[in-house]
Amino acid sequence: MGKLQDKVAVVTGAGRGIGKAIAEKFASEGAKVAIISRTEANSQAAAEAINAKYPGAAKGYAVDVANGPDVAELGKIILADFDHVDILVNNAGVTKDGLLLRMSEEDWDFVLDTNLKGAFNMVKAFQRSILKQKGARIINVASVIGLIGNAGQANYAASKAGLIGFTKSLAREFAGRGVTANVIAPGFIATDMTGVLDEKVKAAVLEKIPLADFGQAEDIAAAATFLASAEARYITGQVLAVDGGMVM
């Protein structure tokens, strides 16, 4: 029996990277997982890879989480397929970096719509089911940038800081139903997105990490599994930085 045996989880941004690692870890712990990605190809590929290890554990879906009506419709489909949702992980995120002097309104809206409004849309789509499930969990994946800010990432920092405030409000609103809501704030995690960075940039980042190493997607997946499990029943409204000591 896994830590998440017979639970139903929805994970956004699960076509690759951190989201996929979370979905796979959940499946390994006995959960059924609805994998959401922006593209059908990525969601199906991730589901197939997980099902190869854990038969029947995953099903893929495609949606732009920034599109409220589309998310609402997908929510109905997922609930029809799985009956209910116990765990919601809002991991979908994008960047559109640039100094504020040159940042367009479109760049701002693109990041805020996906990273922050996307989480709102997903919670709205599943909140009735979540509130009915004993010990349901909401886990929002933010970033240490939402805690400390970063030059050239005003939009991204604002979206992740907003996600933290959103989560704390959810924690207070849903606590009466036994639902917890927490944030994971990853530091520098080795993914496809960070892999394209210049080696000098990576070296500069390493100097700021006390543990002197980059995190792995599996580190975030482990934290998410803990927060989703019964072991974390008395933890809500918190921000768990998984960053090698980068922010403390």
**Residues tagged active-site:** 156
Tell me how far apart the alpha carbons of residues 151 and 157 are, in angstroms, rounded to a whole number: 9
Cβ proximity of 102 and 146 under 8 Å: no
* Separation of first and last alpha carbons in the chain: 35
Q: How crowded is residue 236: how many other Cβ atoms within 10 Å of its Cβ?
A: 21
Report CA-CA distances (Å) from 89 to 67, 118, 248.
17, 11, 24
Torsion of the alpha carbons at 168, 181, 243 and 202, rounded to the nearest 10: -80
- List, as one string, the DSSP characters of 71-103: HHHHHHHHHHHHS--SEEEE---------GGG-
Tokens of 180: 């917890």
Closest CA to 185 of 216, 225, 217, 220: 220
- List, as one string, the DSSP characters of 170-192: HHHHHGGGT-EEEEEEE-SEESH
Determine phi and psi for 19, rounding to 5 degrees.
Answer: -60, -45
Question: In a 10 Å sphere around its CB, with 0-12 CB exposed, 13-18 middle and 19+ buried, how is residue 49 labelled?
Answer: middle
